[in-house]
Amino acid sequence: MSDRPYSRLYHELAEEYTEVYDSPLLADYMRLLVAADQSYPVRARWTGLTTKRGLQRLESCGLVEVDGTRYSVKGMEKERATRAERARRAAYARHGPSSARSSASGSASSSASGSANADTPSLPRRDETRRDEQSKGGEQGGEQGESAIDAYYRLTTKPPSRTVIAWLDRLIAEHDEREVVRVMADEWRRDPNPADFLGRVQTRLASLASKAARQADDQRRRSAIDDQRELEKRLAAMSPEERARTEQRAAELRDSIGALVRGMP
């Protein structure tokens, strides 16, 4: 699973938020965490992922911050910023100006690469892959887990400038890095022109993200409507006591559907 998209659940959750970890709220939190990670930096919609009551309980303990039909997860911005900064420092240590100089500056590059990973010893070091192995991939695709910085170097055969590194950092922070690398390779095959390369990559990624968000909203809306219809069918066959318990759940679903429809463009 390490080479596939994932969202981190830290061990501290079990100690600091026992009321969530030891209850059904953990499932709600995980669904919210995954959706927030996928839509970052745009706030995700909570409708269809948890009940309003469950959301309020997660908000009251500080794990999520709610703004209408959207929300953010505590610590996610810091987590994503740390990922981007670690990738930027490792890539610059490898492809920056110092790495193209003499063996003395090569030594400095190794030192910089080590310091870039010193604060995260359990994570794989991207600078351990040999550059000559990457070049063998050519334009047909790089190695599995290749960083966006390495992909740029492989495709253009040019060490990325500070401006390029900053641009790629923004793309990595806004999208999954594997998706960034995939779109880079696709756009380079379409037109190997470095002048507008990153601009085309950015436009394509934004279009794909917008399409995915619309599809996710449609899926959640259809799921909520199906749930409501199923509950209404069951109500007709229930006793008065069972009906009273279920009507509360049906009301929460109607509120969720209304909020989702109002928030759609």
Predicted pLDDT at 5: 66
C-alpha dihedral (33, 86, 123, 186), degrees to nearest 10: 80
Q: What is the pTM of this model?
A: 0.38
Q: How far apart are CA 135 and CA 155, in angstroms?
A: 9
Inter-CA distances, 71 with 5, 42, 47, 66, 217, Å = 21, 9, 10, 4, 14
Q: pLDDT by residue (tens digit) across 164-184?
A: 888 898 898 888 888 999 999
- Beta-carbon contacts of 76 under 8 Å, excluding residues fewer than 6 positions away, are 33, 36, 37, 40
In contact, 66 and 28? CB cutoff 8 Å:
no
Domain residue ranges of the chain, discontinuous segments joined by + = 12-74, 81-190, 208-263
Convert the pLDDT of each residue in 106-136 to its tens digit.
444 444 444 444 443 333 333 333 344 444 4
What would the two tokens of residue 127 be?
């600078």
The one-digit pLDDT tens for each residue of the chain (265 residues) are 445 567 777 787 888 888 888 888 899 999 998 888 887 778 888 878 888 888 889 999 888 999 888 898 988 888 777 777 777 777 666 665 544 444 444 444 444 444 444 443 333 333 333 344 444 444 444 445 678 888 888 888 888 888 888 889 889 888 888 899 999 999 999 998 888 899 999 999 999 988 888 888 888 888 888 888 886 777 677 777 777 777 777 788 888 887 777 766 5
- List residues bridging with 66 in a β-sheet: 71
- CA dist 179 and 231 (Å) reads 39
Helix crossing, 25-39 with 76-95: angle to 10°? 40
Q: What is the pLDDT of residue 108?
A: 43
